């Protein structure tokens, strides 16, 4: 059965309010949760960006949910530090934590002052980081000289079973590449045809483990309100790679998204006041074979969404 999770959006919500939201999500029937690790929001209107790793410790303690995080090791984070963070949460909360690893975006990584590499270099760096993290979680002492450098690192506190390292992808090509190293795949909502191609590419290349989907949605009791929420909070997120990879500040995203047509939001956000329509979208994703779907209501007020979906959406999905 597909697990339905709550996506905790650090870019949009104060971390204390986000903790309250995830505990409420559990109380209304959500099975799991996840978040992304960002240094900055996508828009100044979003206005937040709490530190995911601090928050995850609190959220895992406050709930019984499983949690995942999307992270980009290699520039803002040394892979040994990410291995230590993964290992500590895995040791404290066995079987409840996984980490998705991606090549990152300049909006988060430029803060180091280092040059932002080409995509092929970022992928090569990520692959090195994955190998370093796996070796450290396995208890090995690691030294490595490459796109990242490691000198005699060892993790002293480790989980008995290393958490899954999931590959993050938005393209068919990256999904196929992730199959070489990942314990699962995570992507975001897109057309049914594109998602099927991604799954097929991952599986046909030998990809193993669960399939995760993050679904951006906007719901409100009135359609106009749902549309207004999506436009205010998520129009800076309509841009496909490489634009979304290479812009560096919330101000840049706000400038390039100032004239985005409202109808374009429907390409990246499932927008509807009709809860039945949301059930239909989610049924399509379940039919594609996703093992976990994390729902991200793009508004900053989460409780009305959680209450409505807990009451009228989750029960219908559980009956499938």
Q: Which residues contact 133 (CB under 8 A, 6 or more apart)?
A: 73, 79, 82, 83, 86, 101, 165
Angle formed by the axes of helices 275-288 and 303-312, nearest 10°: 70
According to CATH, the superfamily of the domain at 3-318 is Luciferase-like domain (3.20.20.30)
Low-confidence ranges of the chain (pLDDT < 70): 320
Q: What is the pLDDT of residues 54-94, one digit of tens each?
A: 999 999 999 999 999 999 999 999 999 999 999 999 999 99
The pLDDT value given to residue 247: 97
Q: Whole-angstrom Cα distance, residue 173 to residue 123?
A: 12
Q: Whole-angstrom Cα distance, residue 165 to residue 228?
A: 36
Q: Answer yes or no: are the C-beta atoms of 298 and 218 closer than 8 Å.
A: yes
The pLDDT value given to residue 169: 96
Tell me which long-range contacts 166-170 makes (C-beta under 8 A, separation of at least 24): 166/68, 166/98, 166/99, 166/100, 166/101, 166/209, 166/210, 166/212, 167/100, 167/101, 167/102, 167/202, 167/207, 168/70, 168/100, 168/101, 168/102, 169/102, 169/198, 169/202, 170/241
CB atoms within 10 A of CB 239: 19
Considering the entire predicted model, what is its pTM?
0.96
The pLDDT value given to residue 226: 98
Nearest to 264 by CA among 297, 241, 299, 240: 240
Angle formed by the axes of helices 15-27 and 303-312, nearest 10°: 10
Q: What is the pLDDT of residues 8-55, one digit of tens each?
A: 999 999 999 999 999 999 999 999 999 999 999 999 999 999 999 999
Six-digit token pair at 309? 């979906």
Q: Which residues contact 92 (CB under 8 A, 6 or more apart)?
A: 57, 60
The pLDDT value given to residue 319: 77
Nearest to 3 by CA among 285, 299, 300: 285
Six-digit token pair at 316? 């219908």
Q: Answer yes or no: are the C-beta atoms of 253 and 222 closer than 8 Å.
A: no
């Amino acid at each position: 059965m597909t697990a339905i999770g709550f996506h905790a959006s650090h870019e949009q919500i104060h971390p204390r309010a986000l903790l309250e939201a995830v505990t409420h999500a559990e109380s209304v029937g959500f099975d799991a949760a996840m978040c992304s690790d960002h240094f900055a929001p996508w828009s100044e209107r979003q206005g937040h960006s709490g530190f995911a790793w601090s928050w995850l410790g609190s959220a895992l303690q406050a709930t019984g949910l499983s949690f995942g995080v999307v992270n980009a090791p290699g520039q803002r984070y040394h892979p040994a530090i990410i291995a230590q963070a993964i290992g500590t949460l895995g040791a404290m909360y066995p079987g409840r934590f996984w980490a998705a690893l991606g090549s990152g975006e300049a909006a988060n990584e430029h803060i180091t002052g280092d040059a932002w590499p080409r995509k092929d270099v970022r992928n090569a760096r990520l692959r090195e980081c994955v190998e370093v993290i796996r070796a450290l979680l396995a208890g090995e002492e690691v030294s490595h000289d490459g796109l990242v450098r490691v000198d005699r690192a060892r993790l002293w506190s480790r989980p008995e079973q290393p958490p899954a390292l999931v590959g993050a992808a938005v393209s068919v090509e990256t999904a196929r590449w992730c199959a070489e190293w990942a314990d699962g795949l995570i992507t975001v909502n897109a057309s049914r045809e594109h998602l099927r191609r991604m799954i097929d590419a991952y599986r046909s290349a030998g990809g193993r483990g669960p399939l995760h989907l993050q679904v951006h949605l906007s719901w409100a009791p009135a359609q106009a309100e749902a549309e207004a929420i999506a436009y205010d909070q998520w129009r800076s997120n309509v841009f496909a790679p490489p634009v979304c990879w290479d812009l560096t500040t919330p101000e840049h995203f706000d400038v390039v998204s100032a004239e985005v047509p409202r109808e374009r939001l429907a390409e990246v956000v499932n927008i509807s006041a009709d809860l039945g329509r949301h059930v239909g979208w989610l049924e399509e994703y379940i039919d594609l074979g996703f093992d976990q779907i994390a729902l991200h209501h793009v508004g900053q007020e989460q409780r009305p969404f959680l209450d409505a979906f807990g009451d009228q959406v989750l029960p219908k999905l559980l009956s499938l």
